[in-house]
């Protein structure tokens, strides 16, 4: 055997070819015209043995700048939060780690209970009546929320704040395009949704208004003021929320939201260089039968013993195609379990304390960094754990971040990439993991870079 980590030997190959009645691998491509087949060798390296391959992969992985080796001040949707060690211990158990969609409830009780607990936690956090499982991430959950609103209201327009994460807005537009929906974006003022522009955009054809709070800039939206504008037009109010921030903020469900979505990554899910994460999706009681994904319910068997079942399944694989509301299907239960373990370990007081640390440290960092000559805090709105800094006009943010990386820091997000009006602005994230010493050191390095 040439490479022992590949489970196919030459003898295995010949046996398989003989079994299916062909003489060689080339014969398998006989139906493909000769003139469209690739000729020559692919531009790839020669085969490596096991040791060399592992060394090569470690070298490639070492090029990644992760928050284990660098102090991160980068957020913009993925955050460097504390992940309690008990989480990996629990999710590494084979009965969870290898679990797939629980098609057979009688042998999937542990998986179903885990999903049920996740749903219960999300309802408690968001103040909503029902929650589901198996959303890919916060961005796709927001796209699904827009689709639900259009189906429920039978209207064709979605009004989306530009303060919503740019990638989430792209997902909403992609989803809307397939459903022939119109997406109207509302501008921002001082880092939050422009109230006058929102009121002007909402009309009798509006299916829903989509806002994010804390929004992409970290600013907290005035949901109380937005709600009557939305419901006054007969539309649905969709809020994308940071679940950790709800340890301090009033839940969207208590402020009039019809649908609350978000990403559970802040709840004990590692950054993993950008994913995967886990979305959540919660609704009022009136909308629960339109939710995508699946809902696990609690019941009793004929002997009165507690059990769990898939109560609602809205995908065409399970029900008639014309009744399906979504094709969301992947089982994100392992990541949902991370969030459930995190919330159970932290408890109400722990969640509140973690959220409070995010606020306190972010505000200390904002004050410290804004004191640097040539740097100022750009937006006046209240914020959670992210804020915007305006950097000296002649500074190249790409070069600033390169020099910060050389000093051991992952810098902020260049807002000019998505918002032309915010060229020269950095989005800085500060979580409970950042210490006063790290913040002060970061400020010193930034001041030195800016001269």
Tell me, what CATH number does 398's domain have? 3.90.1150.10
Q: Which helix (H) or strand (E) holds 232?
A: helix 223-232
Q: Confirm whether 42 is domain-assigned.
A: no
DSSP letters along 275-299, please? ----EEEEE-GGGGGG-SSEEEEEE
Domain total of the chain: 2
Cα 40 to Cα 62: distance, rounded to the nearest angstrom: 33
The CB density around residue 398, as the number of other CB atoms within 10 Å, is 11
Q: What is the pLDDT of residues 183-198, one digit of tens each?
A: 999 999 999 999 999 9
Whether residues 263 and 386 fall in one domain: no
Q: Confirm whether 188 is domain-assigned.
A: yes
At 396, phi and psi to the nearest 5? -90, 115
Which band of pLDDT confidence, cut at 50, 70 and 90, is reported for residue 294? confident
Q: Confirm whether 13 is domain-assigned.
A: no
Asked if 221 contacts 382 with a C-beta cutoff of 8 angstroms, the reply is: no
Q: Supply the pLDDT for residue 9.
A: 81
Q: Supply the pLDDT for residue 321.
A: 66
Whether residues 354 and 291 fall in one domain: no
DSSP state of 381: S
Cα 426 to Cα 405: distance, rounded to the nearest angstrom: 15
Whether residues 132 and 274 fall in one domain: yes
Domain final residue, candidates 292, 307, 342: 342
Q: Confirm whether 418 is domain-assigned.
A: yes
Does residue 1 carry a pLDDT above 60?
Answer: no
Cα 54 to Cα 34: distance, rounded to the nearest angstrom: 37
Domain final residue, candidates 280, 314, 342: 342
Does residue 282 carry a pLDDT above 60?
Answer: yes
Asked if 375 contacts 446 with a C-beta cutoff of 8 angstroms, the reply is: yes
Q: Supply the pLDDT for residue 100.
A: 72
List the beta strands (DSSP E) in 301-394. 306-313, 375-377, 386-391
Q: What is the pLDDT of residues 97-122, one digit of tens each?
A: 887 777 777 788 888 999 999 999 99
The CB density around residue 96, as the number of other CB atoms within 10 Å, is 15
Domain membership of residue 121 as a residue range: 85-342
Whether residues 192 and 323 fall in one domain: yes
List the beta strands (DSSP E) in 62-197. 71-72, 130-131, 157-161, 182-186, 188-189, 192-193
Cα 337 to Cα 86: distance, rounded to the nearest angstrom: 12
Q: Confirm whether 55 is domain-assigned.
A: no
Whether residues 199 and 303 fall in one domain: yes
Q: Confirm whether 22 is domain-assigned.
A: no
Work out the end-to-end distance of the chain between its first and last CA atoms, rounded to an integer number of angstroms. 61
Whether residues 274 and 249 fall in one domain: yes
Whether residues 406 and 316 fall in one domain: no
Tell me, what CATH number does 124's domain have? 3.40.640.10
Whether residues 296 and 380 fall in one domain: no
Quote the mean pLDDT of the chain. Answer: 92
Whether residues 204 and 249 fall in one domain: yes
pTM: 0.89
Whether residues 315 and 411 fall in one domain: no
Whether residues 322 and 383 fall in one domain: no
Whether residues 333 and 378 fall in one domain: no
Q: Confirm whether 250 is domain-assigned.
A: yes
Q: Which helix (H) or strand (E) holds 399?
A: helix 397-406
Does residue 4 carry a pLDDT above 70?
Answer: no
Asked if 202 contacts 226 with a C-beta cutoff of 8 angstroms, the reply is: no
């Amino acid at each position: 055997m040439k490479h022992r980590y590949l489970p196919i030997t030459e003898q295995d190959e010949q046996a398989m070819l003989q079994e299916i009645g062909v003489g060689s691998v080339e014969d398998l491509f006989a139906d493909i015209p000769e003139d469209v087949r690739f000729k020559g060798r692919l531009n790839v390296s020669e085969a490596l043995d096991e040791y060399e391959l592992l060394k090569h992969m470690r070298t490639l992985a070492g090029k990644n700048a992760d928050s284990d080796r660098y102090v991160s001040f980068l957020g913009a949707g993925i955050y460097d939060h504390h992940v309690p060690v008990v989480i990996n211990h629990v999710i590494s158990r084979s009965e969870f780690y290898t679990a797939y969609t629980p098609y057979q409830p009688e042998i999937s009780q542990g998986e179903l209970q885990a999903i049920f607990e996740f749903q219960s936690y999300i309802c408690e956090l968001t103040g909503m009546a029902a929650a589901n499982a198996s959303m890919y991430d916060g961005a796709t959950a927001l796209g699904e929320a827009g689709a639900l609103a259009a189906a429920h209201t039978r209207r064709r327009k979605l009004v989306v704040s530009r303060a919503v994460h740019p990638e989430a807005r792209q997902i909403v537009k992609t989803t809307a395009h397939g459903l022939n929906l119109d997406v109207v974006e509302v501008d921002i003022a001082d880092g939050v949704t422009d109230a006058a522009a929102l009121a002007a955009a909402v009309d009798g054809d509006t299916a829903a208004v989509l806002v994010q709070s804390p929004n992409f800039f970290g600013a907290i939206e005035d949901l109380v003021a937005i709600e009557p504008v939305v419901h006054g037009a007969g539309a649905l109010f969709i809020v994308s929320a940071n679940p950790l921030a709800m340890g301090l903020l009033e839940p969207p469900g208590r402020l009039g939201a019809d649908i609350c979505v978000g990403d559970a990554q802040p709840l004990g899910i590692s950054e993993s260089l950008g994913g995967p994460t886990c979305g959540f999706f919660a609704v009022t009681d009136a909308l629960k039968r339109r939710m995508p994904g699946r809902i696990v319910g609690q019941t009793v068997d004929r002997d009165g013993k507690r059990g769990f079942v898939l109560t609602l399944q809205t995908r065409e694989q399970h029900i008639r195609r014309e009744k399906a509301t979504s094709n969301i299907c992947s089982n994100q239960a392992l990541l949902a379990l991370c969030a459930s373990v995190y919330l159970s370990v932290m408890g109400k007081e722990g969640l509140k304390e973690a959220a409070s640390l995010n606020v306190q440290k972010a505000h200390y960092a904002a004050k410290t960094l804004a004191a640097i000559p040539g740097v100022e805090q750009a937006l006046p709105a209240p914020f959670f754990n992210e804020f915007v800094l305006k950097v000296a006009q002649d500074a190249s943010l790409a070069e600033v971040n390169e020099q910060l990386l050389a000093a051991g820091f992952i810098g902020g997000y260049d807002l000019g990439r998505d918002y032309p009006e915010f060229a020269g602005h950095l989005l800085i994230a500060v979580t409970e993991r950042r210490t006063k010493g790290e913040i002060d050191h970061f400020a010193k390095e930034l001041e030195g870079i800016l001269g």
